[in-house]
Amino acid sequence: MINPNPLLRVLPVLLVLVSTVTSFGQVATTQTLGSGWGATTQPELVATRPIIGSSMVVAAFKCIPNTESYFFVSAPPTGSATHLGSGLYAQIDLGTFDVFGPVYTDASGTLNFPIHLGLPTNLAGEQAVVQMYVTDPLGPVCVAPQGGTCSQFGFEVTNGLLLTLGLQ
């Protein structure tokens, strides 16, 4: 005999769905924050999803070729990006960041940086912001308005990335 209660007929399917979501857990995500800032192009930072127990790649494009660079990493800032002047924004939390490097762009101004995320699974859902600083001996060229002043900077900065660690 078929049970007349429709909920009892779909309950096994619901249990399978709930247990599937529970077993796979937090989804890893990568979100772009702002845009790059540079002399001739806006350098770009991209990354694969940060899945715990796997490798991910952080890659930079449109950077100055053959140049020393550094990754700045922090927890997400509590507010919005910090404007540093001349259209430059820090996406990282300037009070709590760490610096990793140097790393070097190649002859085409690209950097591919693999990272193995051998982290405890209880870190799923944790977030970090990454932004890359690229040294530039020429610096972004600034054209000052009439009567204005302009300083030359010896670097360029990529957009930021908000990384959410996940299990899938």
Q: Is residue 40, in this structure, part of any structural domain at all?
A: yes
Q: Is residue 74, in this structure, part of any structural domain at all?
A: yes
Is residue 16 within 8 Å of residue 77, measured between CB atoms?
no
Q: Is residue 84, in this structure, part of any structural domain at all?
A: yes
| Domain enclosing residue 66, as ranges | 25-164
Secondary structure (3-state) at 33: strand
In the chain, the number of structural domains is 1
pLDDT band at 15 (very low <50, low <70, confident <90, very high): very low
pLDDT band at 19 (very low <50, low <70, confident <90, very high): very low
Q: What angle do CA 37, 42, 46 make, to 5 degrees?
A: 105
Q: Is residue 37, in this structure, part of any structural domain at all?
A: yes
| Predicted structure pTM score | 0.78
Total residues found in the chain within this entry? 168
Q: Is residue 118, in this structure, part of any structural domain at all?
A: yes
pLDDT band at 72 (very low <50, low <70, confident <90, very high): very high
Q: Is residue 146, in this structure, part of any structural domain at all?
A: yes
Backbone φ and ψ of 87, nearest 5°: 80, 5
Q: Is residue 36, in this structure, part of any structural domain at all?
A: yes
Q: Residue 51: beta bridge partners?
A: 166
Q: Is residue 110, in this structure, part of any structural domain at all?
A: yes
